[in-house]
Amino acid sequence: MSDLQILRMNILGGMNEYMRELGDEDLWAIWIEVFPDECDEDELAEIAGDDSLWLDCVERFAWVCRQAGII
């Protein structure tokens, strides 16, 4: 596993935790369209290691944050 993949896994974990803490079920439902609910370590590594999946999560995270009025 590369350093980049490990970094992405940590970022994804943080983004997921942030989405949980928003407490908005509608926004959560939109987030888990690209990031599996109850994501395990293998799924996290798969997303972090795939540029397309990674970008989908980053873009969705930004979109949800905009909808929540955060950015």
Structural domains counted in the chain: 1
Q: Average pLDDT for residues 48-55, to the nearest whole number? A: 98
CA 41 to chain centre: 13
For residue 62, CA distances in Å to 2, 15, 40, 42, 57 come to: 25, 10, 22, 24, 9
Instruction: Output the six-digit token pair for 42.
Output: 């293998």
Range of the domain at 35: 3-67
pLDDT in tens, 7-49: 999 999 999 999 999 999 999 999 999 999 999 999 999 999 9
